């Protein structure tokens, strides 16, 4: 069972390509479903909810002009970028690899299996450290 899941996961495209394919799919679905009236109502205001065609000139312009404010207003993105920068500096300076070696050298036999699992997880995150 796990082997099948791994093979399926290996067949998935690169995350960037997957994101772009899903973006294009949403754009196409919005263009196809915009003329259809689903008669949905907003639960708080009672206003009709309509599908907006995202492939019109105005919507594509809004998509491109609002991209930077949307990213800068998303607070977790800043934290993630700073964390990635810190991990990158720590990895390239050798700090992560040295820390993992030190952790394994101090590990007793009783804790060896869980620590090796932890080191494997950390090494997977910091690709060259393990």
Which is higher by pLDDT, 88 or 128?
88
pLDDT digits (tens, 9 = 90+) for 69-95: 988 898 888 888 888 888 889 888 989
Q: How far apart are CA 122 and CA 130, in angstroms?
A: 8
> What does the radius of gyration of the chain's CA atoms come to, in whole angstroms?
23
The tokens 């450290």 sit on which residue?
129
CA pair distance 61, 25, nearest whole angstrom:
18
Q: Give the torsion sign (CA, 103, 109, 111, 115).
A: positive
Distance CA 9, CA 4 (A): 9
Q: pTM to 2 decimals?
A: 0.56
């Amino acid at each position: 069972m796990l082997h099948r899941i791994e093979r399926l996961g290996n067949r998935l495209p690169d995350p960037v390509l997957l994101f772009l394919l899903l973006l294009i799919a949403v754009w196409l679905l919005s263009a196809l479903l915009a003329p259809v009236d689903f008669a949905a109502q907003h639960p708080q205001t009672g206003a009709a909810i309509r599908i907006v065609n995202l492939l019109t000139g105005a919507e594509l312009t809004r998509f491109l002009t609002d991209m930077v404010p949307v990213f800068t207003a998303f607070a977790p993105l800043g934290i993630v970028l700073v964390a990635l920068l810190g991990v990158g500096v720590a990895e390239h300076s050798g700090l992560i690899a040295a820390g993992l070696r030190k952790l394994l050298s101090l590990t007793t036999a009783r804790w060896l299996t869980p620590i090796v699992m932890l080191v494997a997880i950390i090494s997977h995150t910091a690709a060259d450290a393990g």
